[in-house]
Chain A
């Protein structure tokens, strides 16, 4: 299986991800802002009316904003009626799935150019209400009904992982520290300070000085959310949107001399409940989706030079780097601890700060990852640029891995 004609990203944009900055904006307004940023990034200019279709990844604007029918709302606000508009919902993998479907639509010949974006406006609700809303992506009948929430589902995975591979929380803390170092270099990231600076600021309030990152992360200022996961193991609540413009390869040259080609894609599903799977330390859908993407691209994990993976919780990044074939099972945490996934490491993971520090407006995350690849592979990632990166991968997970979208990109 493969695409009958090639697809490239010719433009990418996003809003700042933030929990306070966008309080007074609606999701549609955030999406328009991201789409305008994407159009502005197209070297030879782009008119929204050039698009033959719109794909919007969104988890639950219904609950978060009291607004359904999101894609139609956005098509109207982009001024592109009667262009077809589709809303894609695969929980936190909504816009990763939308990217796959946008590319498939171009490959089918039904469209030459499509806008694919994602949006989530989460900050209108209280933290408790957000916890309830996100739990809708788990199994309401058999998981949330007995007390599971998202942090606790990933915490359960961590408990199983620690036991199986005889590892500890310290390796997870290495992921937190690394992703917070990266976010400082990304002006679009929600957080703008590393863990040392965060610890200094938070410690000042109670007159405490932490000698290093670990001392702060082990302190009561980093409380346990669901053991073994602490506050800084969890991504924040965020508002934001991201958008890319996809074009058939034969038309990409009209828009830019340096498109970013989607050379591989995969999408897989798994049981909705974690308990229905034989192993809680791997996401089978991520293994399958990435295997399909590597096969389509004709490459192996060794060819990947940069990756954005779905670190909704630190344990998720560790598991992702193993599922994607970057490190052997049980070694992902060690790799993070040794700096192999740092910006200057052998395989930089989440150079943009990841979900942990860039923020995670759930429906926007997959496309925000594609935005990062567009910037990295074109050498436009500023201070966080990975020199010479030509091949990158994104890994976008819905809930606890019941949906996973993977894409591999190469500079055109």
Chain B
């Protein structure tokens, strides 16, 4: 299977898959995928597909975007703690912004932005 690179991770995101990896030695899950397990130091890892559901651990409405996100301002961005353990940052896209609060349930989705596919979440 493919290498644990950012490029591969992004190819999966574009396919609507949230792919990390699992350490075959200690069982720890990692997202994004890594070459070396930071928990036990093992280099024996395998791809793992996350279900994509979790709980918002942190969220903000950003009004000072970087150049690449200027057109979206204001937008929400947050960190979702997935049910399997690891957390990941994502753009928050939601039709109900009032639901965007720490503790809300969220699910992985993808936002297409020209050539790019942005890792995103929406609340449930």
Contact = CB atoms under 8 A, between A and B. Distances in A.
B66 interface: yes
Interface residues of A, number: 37
Contacts of B61: 224, 226-227
Of B38, B78, B103, chain A has the most CB atoms within 10 Å of the CB of B78
B63 A224 contact: yes
A128 B67 contact: yes
Nearest to A157: B58
A51 B48 CA distance: 54
B90 A146 contact: yes
Contact of B58 (A129, A132, A160, A224): A160
B79 A280 contact: yes
A134 to B, nearest CB: 9
A120 B57 CA distance: 34
Interface residues of B, number: 34
A367 B32 CA distance: 35
Contacts, number: 102
B19 to A, nearest CB: 13
Contacts of A228: 60
A155 B62 contact: yes
Given A131-B66, A145-B118, A146-B120, A152 B60 contact: yes
A148 interface: yes
Contacts of B59: 156, 159
A227 B102 CA distance: 13
Interface stretch (A59-67, A72-80, A271-279, A295-303): A271-279
Contact of B62 (A132, A151, A273): A151
A273 B58 CA distance: 13
A149 B89 contact: no
Given A157-B58, A160-B58, A152 B64 contact: yes
Interface string A143-166: 111111101100111111011000
A132 B67 contact: yes
Interface in A104-150: 128-129, 131-132, 135, 141-149
A227 B64 CA distance: 10
Interface in B94-124: 101-103, 118-120
Interface of B: 6, 32, 38, 57-70, 72, 75, 77-79, 86-91, 101-103, 118-120
Given A147-B75, A151-B64, A159-B59, 7 more contacts: A147-B72, A148-B77, A149-B62, A157-B58, A160-B58, A227-B60, A276-B87
Interface of A: 128-129, 131-132, 135, 141-149, 151-152, 155-160, 162-163, 223-229, 271, 273-276, 280
